[in-house]
């Protein structure tokens, strides 16, 4: 990574909060946190967007959209972080997460599988999307607000993941993930 993020020592304000969050939960500052700490106001805006959409869709759908977009983009940072979050939240089990890394979404509910497909399509070929793509979400039981929020989650993951990839942010080991699952997620495409 060619940029030099703010140092943890002497960090103040939002940067100190960002670093403290990682240190409190995992004992170190993740590379993606450090990179985003270079512009803490942008990171705060990203967090606000996520907080605005999660209540209507819930954590399971949020993680499905996030993982679907991250897999389509090939973002190991987000696959690892959100794979662990999905496990901890009980969205998917270890076997289902490993299968997901290999392209099999059956460890997720049918509605979450529809979200994963939608987020993947948004992440790879959004210009070709039609009402049929949105209809698939409606057929899975989602209402207008939820469809918009799923779209925003997938688009936000594109923003965040692509920024990390473009900046060549180092990929950290994520504590609490089985090494075999972590390896599968790193290789997922």
Q: What is the mean pLDDT of residues 36-62?
A: 95
Instruction: List strand residue ranges (DSSP E) for the chain, in order.
Output: none
Residue 89 lies in a domain: yes
Write the pLDDT tens digit of every residue in 51-106: 999 999 999 999 999 999 999 999 999 999 999 999 999 999 999 999 999 999 99
Percent share of the chain, pLDDT over 70: 100
Is position 7 within any domain?
no
3-state secondary structure of 105: coil
Q: Residue 1: pLDDT above 80?
A: no
Q: What is the pLDDT of residue 150?
A: 98
Domain that holds residue 137: 57-187
Q: Note whether residue 11 is domain-resident.
A: no
| CATH classification at residue 112 | 1.20.1290.10
**Separation of alpha carbons 34 and 52, rounded Å:** 24
Asked if the structure places residue 153 within a domain, the reply is yes
Residue with the bigger pLDDT between 3 and 159: it is: 159
Number of domains into which the chain is organized? 1
What's the CA gap between 186 and 171, in Å, rounded? 9
Mean pLDDT for the stretch of residues 32-55: 95
Evaluate whether residue 163 is within a structural domain. Answer: yes
For 18, residues 6+ apart whose C-beta sits below 8 A from its C-beta are: 33, 36, 37, 40, 43
Instruction: Quote the pTM value.
Output: 0.93
Q: DSSP state, 126? A: G
Confirm whether 173 is domain-assigned.
yes
């Amino acid at each position: 990574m060619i940029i030099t993020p703010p140092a943890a020592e002497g960090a103040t304000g939002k940067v100190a909060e960002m670093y403290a969050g990682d240190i409190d939960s995992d004992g170190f500052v993740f590379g993606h946190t450090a990179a985003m700490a270079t512009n803490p106001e942008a990171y705060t805006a990203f967090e606000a967007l996520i907080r605005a959409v999660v209540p209507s869709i819930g954590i399971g759908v949020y993680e499905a959209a996030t993982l679907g977009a991250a897999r389509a983009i090939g973002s190991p940072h987000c696959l690892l972080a959100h794979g662990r979050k999905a496990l901890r939240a009980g969205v998917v089990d270890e076997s289902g997460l490993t299968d997901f890394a290999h392209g099999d979404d059956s460890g997720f509910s049918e509605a979450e599988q529809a979200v994963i497909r939608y987020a993947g399509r948004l992440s790879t070929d959004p210009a070709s999307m039609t009402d049929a793509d949105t209809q698939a979400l409606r057929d899975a039981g989602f209402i207008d607000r939820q469809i918009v929020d799923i779209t925003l989650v997938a688009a936000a993951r594109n923003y965040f993941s692509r920024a990390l990839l473009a900046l060549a942010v180092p990929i950290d080991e994520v504590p609490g993930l089985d090494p075999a699952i972590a390896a599968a997620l790193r290789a997922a495409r």
